[in-house]
Structure 1
Amino acid sequence: MTVWTRAGDDLLLSVRLTPGAAKDDLGGGWTDAHGARWLSARVRAVPEKGRANGALIALLSKRLDWPKGAILLESGDTNRLKRLRIIGGGRASARLVALIDTWVEKT
Structure 2
Amino acid sequence: MAFWRAAPDGLEVSVRATPKGGRDALDGCVTLSDGREVLKIRVRVAPEDGAATAAVGKVLAASAGLPPSAVRLLSGATARLKVFHLKGDTEHLKALLEEAARRS
Query: Contact between 1:27 and 1:105, CA under 8 Å: does it hold in 2?
Result: no
- What SS does structure 1 have at the residue aligned with 2:100? helix
Structure 1 unmatched ranges of 5 or more: none
Q: How far apart are the structure 1 equivalents of 2:26 and 2:8?
A: 25
Offset at residue 69 of structure 1 (A) = 1.6
Does the aligned pair in 2 maintain the 1:28–1:104 contact within 8 Å? yes
Residues 17-36 of structure 1 mapped to structure 2, 5 A cutoff: 17-36=17-36
Give CA-to-partner distance per residue, 1:66-91, whole Å, 9 cap, x none. Answer: 1212211100111110000112x2xx
Q: Is the 8 A contact 2:28 2:102 kept in 1?
A: yes
Deviation at 1:65, TM superposition (A): 2.1
Unaligned 5+ segments in structure 2 are: none
Partner of 1:69: 69
Aligned length: 104
SS at match of 1:20: coil
Residue 99 (1) aligns with residue 63 (2): no
CA RMSD after TM alignment: 1.4
